[in-house]
Amino acid sequence: MSHPAEGTLQALLDGELPRADRAEVELHLRGCSTCRGEAERLRAAAAALTAALAHVDRPAPTERALAAASRRRWRRWVGVDTGQGMRRAAVLVLGVATVASATVHGSPVRGWIAGLVHRVAPSAARGPDSPAAAPGGARDDATAGGPAAGAAAPGAHPAASAAGVSVLPELGRVRVVLTAPSPELRIRVRLSDDAYSDVRASGLASGARFRTGPGRVEVSGAGAGEVEVVIPRGARSAVVEVDGHPYFRKDGDGIRLLAPASDSSGSEVVFTVRP
Amino acid sequence: MDFEQTFRSLYPSLFRYLHRLTGDADVAEDLAQESFVRLLGHRVSDDGVRVWLFTVATNLVRDGARKQARRARILAAEPVLPGAFPAPDEGVEREARISAVRDALGHLAARDRELLLMREEGFSYAEIARAAGVAPGSVGTLIARALRRFTQAYQTGEDDG
């Protein structure tokens, strides 16, 4: 037979050649040093690829991902993600049950609601140095009279105010997501030895809205001021993204800047949303 | 099909494939989870689940790549500032090795990357053809060429480094 094609040799090495063809090609290889060399080159290339890929691999976060997928699975079942009727039915049942429970003296639901009312009142007066624990490992604070969780105080000059939240990394991961910011917003990312990841908006950005989740902060509608993001050095991974585009990423001890930085020093870097 | 059992069985392979394909663990995690969540809404035979998941995940990567293409072109003109946040010495060598592998993979066409990485996950040629959307008879040739391109790019990168 004539020299087998490169793809045929590859299929032979991968065990994909039909039995009859395989016998013919193997017979050819025994008498053709050129094709044996070619087959050896392909085999070595495949081995080199396998060895190289092992360098970039990291353990799959199977258990964490399974927990997250299970939550989304449940949300689908009740229709939160799909908008199906099950969602409305579940909300209705929960709502009726909650109202009914709240009317009963001494019920846990009534006590929980009363506790919430008492906790919300003092939070607006809290200073940045006295953060209080909030559900989900988050804490929030506001200065210059701004209410917690970001909105500037009515009547206060935004340039004189600041607002922010802090979250603990979730399983070592922090994600800070900015959406629809002003093109002139400055984003300062700083590494810190603190356990919390702080996100603070100041100046014209202080009217931004904040939402927190486990290891996650979302900042939307930040104006043309500054948002400072403090990343704990101990975080296993962290990402700061703007409108879906990552600007800053920390993986272990490695740092990557994925957007042009307007300034940087040893432990901090500054981005402008659209320089 | 038991979802949890399927997840535990196939997730590590899908995550590894996506991480190698995208170079980003967070993106890999998100896309792997999205693929599994989409699986919930489909009737897929047990035999076909693996190929189905990899096909969906590959399409998600392609969609994401298209959306990022314009931004990538803009960023390509902007150098990353050197010296910011220097990595510790002990991590430099490992980072360099990872960077060389990713650079070599980056020299390949997207389809070539997909073919090589699916082969690494142990897919048959028929499965690769179905997931990547190529003719089954062409898989061997395409893989051989992609291997040659990868080897050349990787060796060039190591020589330069």
ipTM of the complex: 0.84
Inter-chain touch B75–A260, beta carbons under 8 Å: yes
pLDDT at A9 over 90: yes
Identify whether the C-beta of residue A219 lies closer than 8 Å to the C-beta of residue A273: no
User: Residue B143: which of A10, A52, A249 has the nearest Cβ?
Assistant: A10
- The DSSP bridge pattern shows strands A186-192 and A226-232 to be parallel
Phi-psi map region of B82: left, alpha, beta (phi>0 left; psi -120 to 50 alpha): beta
Query: How distant is the Cα of B69 from the closest Cα of chain A, in angstroms?
Result: 12
- C-alpha distances (whole Å) from B44 to each of A51, A68, A70, B41 are 34, 22, 19, 9
| Lowest pLDDT segment from A10-24, A225-239, A248-262, B65-79 | B65-79
- What is the tens place of the pLDDT at every residue in B110-159? 999 999 999 999 999 999 999 999 999 999 999 999 999 999 999 987 76
More confident residue, A148 or A242: A242
As a residue count, chain B comes to: 161
Q: Which residues of B touch A69 (CB under 8 A)?
A: 7, 33, 36-37
Note the maximum CA span of chain A: 94
**Quick one: pLDDT band at residue B95, thresholds 50, 70, 90?**
confident
**Mean pLDDT, residues A113-134:** 40
Across the A:B interface, residue pairs with CB atoms under 8 Å apart total: 148
- Of A106-120, B59-73, B114-128, minimum mean pLDDT range: A106-120
Quote the CA–CA distance of A140 and A218 in Å, as a whole number: 13
Where does the pLDDT of residue B92 fall: very low under 50, low under 70, confident under 90, or very high at 90 and above?
confident
Are A271 and A246 spatial neighbours (Cβ–Cβ below 8 Å)? Answer: no
* Residue A70 touches partner B, C-beta closer than 8 Å: yes
The shortest CB-CB distance from B95 to any of A254, A261, A267 is to A254
A260 touches chain B (CB under 8 A): yes
CB contact under 8 A, A7 and B138: yes
Beta carbons of A5 and B144 less than 8 angstroms apart: no
Q: Spell out the residues 6+ positions from residue A76 whose beta carbon is closer than 8 angstroms to its own.
A: A82, B37, B40, B41
Q: What region does A91 belong to: left with phi over 0, alpha with psi -120 to 50, or beta?
A: alpha
Q: What is the pLDDT of residue A97?
A: 72
C-alpha span between B30 and A183 (Å, rounded): 27
Which chain B residue is nearest to residue A15, measuring alpha carbons? B124
Q: How many Cβ atoms are within 10 Å of A203's Cβ, its own excluded? A: 19
pLDDT confidence bin for A7, thresholds 50/70/90:
very high
Q: Does the CB of A40 have a partner CB in chain B at under 8 Å?
A: no
Task: Answer yes or no: is pLDDT of A150 > 50.
Answer: no
Interval B60-81 mean pLDDT: 62
Q: Give the mean model confidence (pLDDT) for residues A1-26.
A: 93
CB contact under 8 A, B91 and A252: yes
Residues contacting A109, CB < 8 A, separation 6+: A98, A101, A102
Tens digits of residue pLDDT in B23-45: 888 889 999 999 999 998 788 88
Which of A46, A68, A261 lies closest to B84 in CB terms?
Answer: A261
Q: Could you tell me the pTM of the whole model?
A: 0.55
**Under 8 Å between Cβ of A185 and A243:** no
Instruction: Tell me whether A122 touches chain B (CB under 8 Å).
Output: no
Q: Do B26 and A14 touch (CB under 8 A)?
A: no
Which pLDDT value is given to residue A133? 35
Give the best residue of B2, B26, B93 to mutate against chain A (max A CB count within 10 A): B26
Query: What is the rounded distance in angstroms from the CA atom of residue B117 to the CA atom of residue B58?
Result: 11
- DSSP 8-state assignment for residue B161: -
Which of B91, B98, B151 is opposite residue A45, by nearest beta carbon?
B151
Q: What is the mean pLDDT of chain B?
A: 85
Q: How far apart are CA A4 and CA A146, in angstroms?
A: 76
